[in-house]
Amino acid sequence: MKAIFTISRLIIKKKLKFLSESEMLQLKKLKTKYPFTKKVDFDYINKNIESYNSIDADKAWQSVLEKIEQKSEKSFYKRNQSVFRYAAIFVCLLSLTYFVSDHFNMFDSSQPISNQNIITLRLANGETKTLVLHKDQEIKTANGNLINVQKNNVLVCGKNSESDQLAYNELKIPFGQKFQVILSDGTKIHLNSGSSLKFPITFIKGHYRKVYLTGEAFFEVTKDKSHPFIVQSNDMNVKVLGTKFNVSAYKEDLNINTVLVEGSVQVFEKNIPNQKSILVPGEKASWIKSNNQVTIKKVDVSDYTAWMNGQLIFKGMSFKKIAQKLERTYNVSIVNNNKDLDNEIFSASFNQDIDKIENIMLYLSKIYHFTYIIKDNTIIIN
């Protein structure tokens, strides 16, 4: 509330024409710093307090006096009208503070939501390396062997044709971040927030090219007819020769979805490889975890690949599902005390690079008429 109170106080003083030069400068800085973006700004506040220009302090103070029961107290305050007559203005200030707080549903803008940007790479020998976004570095073992190279936000795996044993690394992406991997065969993998990928240091001749995914990733698989590429997520496998497709397999999701963009893929349960479902471009296969059934339907593939460009697209999605996606995308925890919201269906699109989580929550709260507070990295819906 401190930041909101300060803003309110400065605006009121400006309206009453006794704002000092230093306070005017402070207000200008707050207008720039305070995170009310995307057409929601201080002009809205100013518009809603025009009535404060016509405050009748004497009349308002008289109203305060009428509430004081003891004549002695009343007499004391009347003698000090010159000092206390602005109490009514202070009451207006408090009202404005609550107005601003209610409109923006903010707890304290001095507690911004931050992101954790450390990505971990667990090597086959048990060592753990940390990767920081926007950095170039060589990934070596403790004895100095070069394993991978990080180039900005891409991990490039080295080629080791002399190896005859499979050894797996595991890359874990935290909430709020995205990363890419180029495997030893040239296959490109875009990993979404909250995902992990287990992959061979190098692929071995005569073996399937197999990786293990938890979370969401977009694959651009290098063609190799002699060595099919398999993505295993939970108990579902996606088998390809060379193609482009998206797999979403977060642990908390009820379904594992595979959307084909280009080429052809086979979807099958790992324990029943003979029961295959073949996709063509523009189709989505949903493997239902509860009964091991697969359903296939035509979809707009751009809805399922837009996340790579920072787009958040919600089409006919429950609020509960939206909250889960926002948690992963923005690295926040959403505590929903309004359970009636969970099953509400919602459609919208946002741009992660432009729309802050504060803006999205404000928008959602106006649609569904709920209140919330933000404290540290936790959003509490009332």
Pair 64, 139 in one domain: no
Pair 123, 199 in one domain: yes
The answer to whether residue 112 is domain-embedded is no
Pair 156, 267 in one domain: yes
Predicted local distance difference test score (pLDDT) of residue 63: 52
Burial of residue 308 (number of CB atoms within 10 Å: 0-12, 13-18, 19+): middle
Predicted local distance difference test score (pLDDT) of residue 301: 96
Pair 264, 318 in one domain: no
Pair 159, 298 in one domain: yes
How far apart CA 35 and CA 209 sit, in angstroms, is: 47
Predicted local distance difference test score (pLDDT) of residue 160: 56
How far apart CA 20 and CA 23 sit, in angstroms, is: 5
Pair 324, 175 in one domain: no
Identify the segments of the chain with pLDDT beneath 70.
Answer: 1-22, 31-117, 159-164
How far apart CA 147 and CA 139 sit, in angstroms, is: 6
Residue 337's domain is classified under what CATH number?
A: 3.55.50.30
C-beta of residue 283 within 8 angstroms of C-beta of residue 260: yes
List 239's β-bridge partners, or say none: 230, 266
**Chain centre distance of CA 266:** 32
Pair 165, 286 in one domain: yes
pTM of structure: 0.70
Predicted local distance difference test score (pLDDT) of residue 269: 83
Last residue of a domain, one of 104, 139, 159: 104
List 107's β-bridge partners, or say none: none
**The total number of structural domains that make up the chain:** 3
The Cβ of residue 28 has, within 10 Å, a number of other Cβ atoms equal to: 12
Pair 273, 230 in one domain: yes
The answer to whether residue 110 is domain-embedded is no
How far apart CA 41 and CA 54 sit, in angstroms, is: 23
The answer to whether residue 282 is domain-embedded is yes
Pair 223, 240 in one domain: yes
Q: Which domain holds residue 28?
A: 2-104
